[in-house]
Amino acid sequence: MGFIYDTFKARAALPEEVKRLGWVSFFMDVASEMVYPVVPLFLTSVLGAPVAVLGAIEGLAEVIVSVMKGASGWHCDKLGRRVPYIRWGYGLGAISKPLMALAFSWPMILLSRAMDRTGKGLRTTARDALIADAVDASQGGQAFGFHRMMDTAGAMIGVLLATMLLFLLPGHYRTSFLIATVPGLAAVWLTFRLHEAAKTPAYAPSQARVPLAGKPWSGLPKAFWLTLAPLLVFAFANSSDTFLILRAKDLGLSDTQSIMAYLLFNLVYALSAYPLGILSDRVGRWRMVLGGWMLYGFVYLGVANAGMGDVWWLFALYGLFMGLTEGVGRALIRDRIPEDRKGTAMGIFHMGVGLMMLAGSVTAGLCWDLIGSRAPFVLGGTVAFLAVIVALAVRPKIRAAT
């Protein structure tokens, strides 16, 4: 009972900017997940694009977002502001939805996805840096956990709305894109209620901000790089969730059952992210992250050897893994960076993780095609355990460098 009381007490203590950013992400994820499952159907059945084009568009989209996360993080530190990047990022994301509705050929979808991913790259690092600005390191797990909870709740509602619209308006994909514009605009409107975190030294009115000089990565401590290393190893293991859905179908689940399993995963993730983020502030980040990675390894090896009935509990455990690691991993990075380099460090983190996940997803796809549907999960589970070993090896060095 005491823990539950403390949890709600801590929730009330979150800064207003963190809460507003949670709602901004909630509405944008509603919009994004209303669109994302529909795009492949629209591309192939309406615009007549080959499946190879879909793969190329998504691959290019991930490269754009990863590179933009790194560049925007360094630049928002150099400028000394976060909010403009957040507004422009969410604005581009909202504009991309009606642009899809106007598409008459696949290059317009490519343009729309590029615009959306550019916006995501602009906003993600600046948003995480603003969260880091708004809270002390001791509250990082709670703050990022709250944001992950809101983000995932929005994604879950977006998937449900997309499924409902496909059922009620079969084939009316353009209508779905236009409806998705509404929550996107709500997210943009909320960004105009955001303010810079005044407590951060770079923004203190009594101090003159010193422009960042040298290479973007200069000035980051050794502890940051040592912390980043095992996170990048694990990112290679953490391939696209699309493979989990495909594996569920491969094991005999219908399309609707596969989507419901995906929703179960998101539900567990949304419910666990916030309380586990608070717990990480008390028991330590590494314990949570390493426990999550080990759980991931067991889940992926379980999926490789699963029967149809095992999908449900494995997807639920996968949601628990996300709750253990996603927000906590960002808080772990936040613990290792100087106050005036939060954007740069968060940008390098997001860019590195994004590129490694892209490499992991491409490798997983090749394993699926060349070896079989079990292979990507055996690879992912094995690399996850390797990441645990790397983390245990570097932790003494991180403590020594801190």
CATH number for the domain spanning 346: value is 1.20.1250.20
- 257/179 same-domain check: no
Q: Which residue has the tokens 């407590």?
A: 199
State residue 336's pLDDT score. Answer: 66
Distance in angstroms (rounded) separating the CA atoms of residues 294 and 99: 42
Q: Is 81 left (phi over 0), alpha (psi -120 to 50) or beta?
A: beta
Residues in the chain: 402
Q: Is the pLDDT at 41 greater than 60, yes or no?
A: yes
Please check whether residue 2 lies inside any domain of the structure.
Answer: no
Most confident among 27-36, 201-210, 280-289, 335-344 (mean pLDDT): 27-36
DSSP three-state, residue 238? coil
- 247/350 same-domain check: yes
**pLDDT: which is higher, 127 or 285:** 127
DSSP three-state, residue 210? coil
Record the pTM: 0.73
Residues 6+ apart with CB under 8 A from 369: none
Please check whether residue 1 lies inside any domain of the structure.
Answer: no
State residue 389's pLDDT score. Answer: 94
Q: Is the pLDDT at 333 greater than 90, yes or no?
A: no
Residues 6+ apart with CB under 8 A from 362: 59
Q: Is the pLDDT at 211 greater than 60, yes or no?
A: no
Q: Cα angle at 376 between 160 and 319, to 5 degrees?
A: 35
- 129/229 same-domain check: no
State residue 287's pLDDT score. Answer: 84
> Mean pLDDT throughout 49-67?
68
- 302/359 same-domain check: yes
> Domains in the chain: how many in total?
2
Q: Is the pLDDT at 186 greater than 90, yes or no?
A: yes
User: How many distinct helices (H) and strands (E) make up the chain?
Assistant: 15, 0
Domain final position from 200, 230, 257:
200
Residues 6+ apart with CB under 8 A from 266: 152, 155, 156, 159, 319
CA distances from 252 to 112, 245, 247, 258, 374 (A): 34, 11, 9, 9, 14
- 161/299 same-domain check: no
Tokens coding 396: 């003494």
State residue 385's pLDDT score. Answer: 95
Angle between helix axes 140-168 and 2-12 (nearest 10 degrees) is 80
Full domain range(s) for residue 174: 13-200
Q: Is the pLDDT at 204 greater than 80, yes or no?
A: no
- 122/271 same-domain check: no
Most confident among 124-133, 274-283, 311-320 (mean pLDDT): 311-320
CB neighbourhood size of 102 (10 A) = 11
What percent of the chain stands above pLDDT 70? 82
- 224/262 same-domain check: yes
State residue 293's pLDDT score. Answer: 92
State residue 338's pLDDT score. Answer: 64
DSSP three-state, residue 80? coil
Tokens coding 256: 């609707």
Alpha-carbon 64 to chain mean position: 15
Among candidates 114, 106, 97, 117, which has minimal Cα distance to 45?
106
Please check whether residue 119 lies inside any domain of the structure.
Answer: yes
Q: What is the DSSP letter of 13?
A: T
What percent of the chain stands above pLDDT 90? 18
What does pLDDT average to over the chain? 79
Among candidates 179, 198, 200, 300, which has minimal Cα distance to 244?
300
- 192/270 same-domain check: no
The least confident of 69-78, 188-197, 224-233, 345-354 is 69-78
Domain final position from 166, 200, 234:
200
Q: Is the pLDDT at 66 greater than 80, yes or no?
A: no
State residue 337's pLDDT score. Answer: 67
Q: Exposed/middle/buried for 198, CB within 10 Å: 0-12, 13-18, 19+?
A: exposed
Tokens coding 210: 């010193």
